[in-house]
Structure formats: C-alpha cells, structure tokens
Amino acid sequence: MPYIARADYAKQKEMVGNGECVTLVKHLTGVRASSLWREGDKVPDLLEKGGIAKGTVIATFVNGRYQNLRQGNHAALFIRQVPGGIEIFDQWRNHKPSARVIHFGRSAAGASNRPELYSVVE
C-alpha cells in the first residue's frame, strides 16, 4: 500500500524537524518508521504502466530496504512525470522543502538525483 501526502503538501515551505528527507515525508504522510519501509514497484515501471499518484512517497532502496544512511539514499514525494524525468518534492539539510526536477540517465549523479533508482515506499 503506497503512502500519499495530503493535498496541501506544497504549502510546506519551512524545514521540518532535523531537515532530513525522511522527516519531511513522515510529517506530510504519516508513513511509518523508515526501518520498516519495504520496496514497492519501481518508479520507471509504474510510469510505463500509466503513472503514479501525485504525493506518493518514493525512495531509493538497496536489496529491498531503505538504507537510512547520512548520504547516498533519499526519500521524496512524487509530483509528476516530465520530459526526461520526474518532478519531486523534498528537503535535505540546509535546503527547505521545494519541488525540483530530476532527470533519467545521469549515471554520474548521486542516487538522490536518479529517478531510475526510486521505488514506491510500502
């Protein structure tokens, strides 16, 4: 079962909690602790099949688990598909919540900037 943010999530303009990405998605959706997250369908597969609901929690996973490291993993809200990528809503330390576009096929980019590495959180 995916977790989906309330409709007014984009009004969140101030940093939530400690500024980590997981803190934001937990605040906006009520998703359970990240240690309990399981990997759902991959974002690219869902986009090919017809899409993902706006506000759905997505994250990067390794072997089906969210790694919860200080770097190299990420969680965000899916907004929409755009040409060559996706638009997400996220925050990270020293960066307030906002929407941004990340593009497919940028292998030199970190995991947080590669849509092909995201899956739906279950």
Q: Looking at the domain assignment, is residue 4 inside a domain?
A: no
Which candidate in 27, 74, 95, 103 is catalytic? 74
Overall number of domains in the chain: 1
Question: Helix/strand/coil (H, E, C) string of the chain?
Answer: CCCECCCCHHHCCCCCCCCCHHHHHHHHHCCCCHHHCCEEEEHHHHHHHCCCCCCEEEEECECCECCCCCCCCCEEEEEEEECCEEEEEEEECCEEEEEEEEECCCCCCCHHHCHHHEEEEC
**Is there a domain that residue 67 lies in?**
yes
pLDDT in tens, 1-51: 899 999 999 999 999 999 999 999 999 999 999 999 999 999 999 999 998
Range of the domain at 54: 9-121
Instruction: Say if 41 falls within a structural domain.
Output: yes
74 is catalytic: yes
Arithmetic mean of pLDDT over the chain: 94
Percentage, residues of the chain above pLDDT 90 = 81
pTM higher than 0.75:
yes
Whether residue 1 is contained in a domain is answered as no
